[in-house]
Amino acid sequence: MKKIAIILSGCGVFDGAEIHESVLTMLHLEQLGASYQCFAPNIQQHHVINHLTGEELQQQRNVLEESARIARGNIKELSQLNSNDFDALVLPGGFGVAKNLSNFAFEGAKSQILDQLKHVCQAFAQQQKPIAYLCIAPALIGHIHPHGTLASIGNDEQTAAVINQLGAQHVECDVENIVLDSIHKVISTPAYMLAESISEASVGIHKALKALVEMA
């Protein structure tokens, strides 16, 4: 059975991991006959958003504790993730990727990513183990993989241009498809960058994870 690590970035599309994408990731991996373990960094969120009103709340939340909501408590600190123990890696999207795992949401082409995350992802890459990036997570690819690695967040020209500036090579992709860099073993799919329903997001995510498991 293939063992897959999942890195979450909180709980909720506007300040953490996209919940539908995260749950679909777990569901499809299980249906594909793989096992998974969730991880998240033990850090404070950048901020907390009221998902009903869109307003920022004056409170603090912890990324690991919030991610545990999605993982039903079965989650470990990112610092415990050892690439030797897994066959592949998945990063669901959500603004937590661009606010907590990196500062892409604020700095764009000048963004940096969490050192711990970079170390873990590069360890998988160096061992030639595949990584799937969903939704906005492909914005991290230029920080982790060699210059020119293929990536897609769909078809948003402005975001695509920034991804290119960061060193990846953006490829347009519709919601139900994937972009596969077979040389660097990197898979991306737009998911909720384009999806207008959970079933639309599900199609591309399933294809990405099927490719991930087959490549692992």
The catalytic residue positions are 135
Amino acid in the structure at residue 26: M
Query: Residue 9 and residue 6: Cα distance in Å, rounded?
Result: 10
Length of the chain: 216
Query: Residue 92 and residue 24: Cα distance in Å, rounded?
Result: 9
Amino acid in the structure at residue 73: G
Strands (E), the chain: 3-7, 35-40, 48-49, 56-57, 75-77, 88-91, 131-134, 150-151, 169-170, 179-181, 186-189
Q: What share of the chain is helix, strand, coil (3-state, %, to 5)?
A: 40, 20, 40
Query: Residue 66 and residue 13: Cα distance in Å, rounded?
Result: 12
Query: Residue 87 and residue 80: Cα distance in Å, rounded?
Result: 16
Amino acid in the structure at residue 130: P
Region of 168 (left: φ > 0; alpha: ψ -120 to 50; beta: rest) is beta
Helices and strands counted in the chain (H then E): 8, 11
